């Protein structure tokens, strides 16, 4: 189970277990025919309507372990050899054994009530806001004033942090205690600290998105084909860009993108394209009960590193969420710890998409011993990320929705999702708990 425990504060999740139970099993046979292309997207859609936002990355050397099983299948006419390969994610990619940049256990500091003001419910932190924007570092015996005062955005971020700090601290502590009691989390030891960290190769997913922009645009009035991979078809040598690719089989498939191999889950589909090329997804004629969005938000780090392009607020608003949403669809948006983006989602983006009943959840990142991966009161990096949830009120097919806001299941507010994060960049935790909302 990906859910280790569920308390009133939220959930403690096992990300690794979730990946390994996702049926990444390949089945090979000697009988293959050509790749099937279907002109009618409606008939090409999978029965459950699942749409995977991207195929899972596969690196046989660095991220997966493969177990092979030979199975002899005897059809009515003749026996044929069937080979099954099962892939599981390597455990060391979740070996987050100690906090980044600190050696002390932040939760223990909170319980002991250190003189740095971390155990006083944030009273000293509140004083920082009252001193005309001046920021003081949290030291036990004396305060040291920052050379510059906080700007407007930094003051807003600090005030927001102070509002949710107690919720995150208390909720995480209770979930971690359950994780330690169950054995899922283990107290830190010198043996763990000395464990090897796997070498992580550079992810090429951002390059895939950049590559999609180089392809010539297709007339949107033309109906796009859906590339189907069925039991009787072989996997294409190269997946098409700006075309919905669907795996209709009960087994995972290995697909190739820019020379890299990826595991394509069974009974799923994906569209690899620039965000401006969404017509193939609209032509897919599917409505979705849950839509999860993780935009590349603008920030100083992205600008400096130039790793990938970010989306402006205007571009994010162009995502056709209402056209893709089923009645009462749950919309989840990941937001960075910047108040400008959070206010945009709640006050501008969601009203634009007719999303109502908006609440906030938090993903709290911990080590395998239950410590925050960053100090909770770190000025630069926080051990949590924000998710904004809401439901689409309107049905885009009719002027008035058949489901009123009062009839929709109410989303609980301020819940925690606590997990050990993956070492790979920007891998978010499993959100299977949303299926029960």
pLDDT, tens only, 343-380:
999 999 999 999 999 999 999 999 999 999 999 999 88
Q: Residue with structure tokens 């795996």?
A: 247
Task: Note whether 244 and 225 are within 8 A (CB).
Answer: no
Q: Please write the tens of the pLDDT for every residue from 389-414.
A: 999 986 545 444 455 555 667 899 99
Show the tokens assigned to 59: 């690196």
Structural Rg of the chain based on CA atoms: 24
CA distance readout (Å), 151 to 106, 157, 350 = 27, 10, 27
pLDDT tens, residue by residue, 22-70: 778 888 765 443 344 444 443 333 333 333 333 344 443 345 555 544 4
User: Which three-class secondary structure state does DSSP give residue 125?
Assistant: helix
DSSP 279-296: HHHHHTT--EEEEEE---
What pLDDT is attached to residue 246? Answer: 93
C-alpha to C-alpha distances, 299 to 311, 339, 341, nearest whole angstrom: 10, 12, 10
Closest CA to 82 of 74, 91, 90: 74
What's the gap between Cα 375 and its chain centre?
22
Q: CA–CA separation, 74 vs 262, rounded Å? A: 30
The whole-angstrom separation of Cα 417 and Cα 296 is 21
Cα gap 364→110, rounded to integer Å = 16
In whole numbers, what is the pLDDT of the chain averaged over residues?
Answer: 75
Q: Is 128 exposed, middle or buried (CB count within 10 Å of its CB: 0-12, 13-18, 19+)?
A: buried
Q: What number is the average pLDDT over the span 163-192?
A: 91
Q: Check residue 302 and give its pLDDT.
A: 57
Question: Which is higher by pLDDT, 335 or 125?
Answer: 335
Place of tokens 């908006």: 358
Between 203-207, 382-386, 419-423, the lowest mean confidence (pLDDT) is in: 203-207
**CA 429 – CA 15 distance, rounded (Å):** 6
Query: Rounded mean pLDDT of 181-209?
Result: 68
pLDDT per position as a tens digit, 202-239: 555 666 666 666 665 555 555 456 888 888 777 777 77
> Which pLDDT belongs to residue 308?
63
H or E stretch covering 123? helix 123-130
What residue spans of 288-363 are helical by DSSP H?
300-305, 313-317, 321-324, 339-344, 350-352
Structure tokens at 425: 């960049």
Q: State how far the Cα of 255 lies from the Cα of 250, in Å rounded to an integer.
A: 16
pLDDT of residue 362: 98
Q: What is the pLDDT of residue 9?
A: 97
Q: How far is CA 390 from CA 49, 276, 289, 328, 393, in A?
A: 21, 24, 12, 9, 9
76 is written with which tokens? 């009515």
CA 106 vs CA 88, 217, 365, 370: distances in Å: 32, 52, 13, 10
């Amino acid at each position: 189970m990906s859910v280790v425990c569920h308390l009133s504060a939220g959930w403690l999740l096992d990300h690794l277990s979730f990946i390994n139970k996702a049926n990444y099993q390949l089945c090979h046979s000697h009988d293959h025919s050509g790749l099937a292309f279907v002109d009618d997207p409606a008939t090409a859609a999978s029965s459950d309507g699942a749409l995977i936002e991207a195929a899972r990355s596969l690196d046989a050397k660095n991220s997966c372990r493969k177990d092979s099983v030979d199975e002899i299948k005897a059809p009515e006419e003749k026996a044929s050899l069937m080979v099954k390969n099962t892939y599981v994610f390597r455990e060391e990619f979740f070996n987050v054994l100690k906090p980044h940049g600190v050696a002390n256990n932040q939760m223990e500091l909170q319980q002991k009530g250190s003189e740095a003001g971390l155990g006083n419910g944030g009273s000293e932190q509140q004083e920082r806001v009252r001193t005309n924007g001046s920021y003081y570092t949290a030291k036990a015996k004396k305060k040291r004033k920052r050379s510059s005062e906080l700007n407007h955005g930094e003051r807003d971020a600090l005030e927001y942090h102070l509002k949710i700090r107690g919720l995150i601290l208390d909720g995480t502590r209770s979930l971690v205690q359950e994780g330690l009691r169950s054995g899922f989390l283990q107290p830190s030891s010198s043996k763990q600290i000395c464990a090897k960290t796997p070498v992580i190769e550079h992810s090429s997913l951002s390059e895939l998105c950049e590559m999609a922009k180089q392809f010539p645009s297709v007339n949107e009035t033309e109906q796009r084909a859906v590339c189907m991979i069925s039991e009787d078809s072989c996997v294409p040598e190269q997946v098409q860009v700006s075309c919905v690719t669907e795996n209709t089989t009960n087994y995972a498939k290995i697909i190739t993108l820019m020379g890299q191999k990826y595991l394509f889950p069974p009974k799923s589909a994906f569209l690899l394209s620039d965000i401006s090329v969404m017509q193939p997804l609209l032509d897919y004629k599917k409505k979705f009960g849950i839509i999860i969005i993780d935009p590349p938000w603008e920030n100083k780090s992205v600008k400096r590193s130039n790793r990938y392009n970010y989306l402006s607020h205007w571009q994010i608003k162009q995502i056709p969420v209402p056209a893709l949403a089923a009645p009462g669809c749950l919309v989840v948006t990941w937001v960075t710890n910047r108040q400008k983006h959070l206010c945009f989602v709640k006050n501008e983006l969601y009203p634009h998409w007719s999303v109502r009943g908006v609440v906030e959840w938090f993903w709290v990142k911990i080590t395998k011993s239950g410590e925050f991966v960053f100090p909770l009161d770190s000025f630069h990096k926080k051990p949590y990320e924000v998710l904004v949830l809401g439901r689409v009120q309107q049905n885009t097919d009719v002027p008035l929705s058949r489901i009123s806001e009062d009839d929709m299941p109410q989303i609980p507010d301020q819940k925690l999702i606590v997990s050990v994060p993956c070492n790979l960049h920007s891998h978010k935790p499993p959100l299977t708990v949303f299926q029960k909302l």
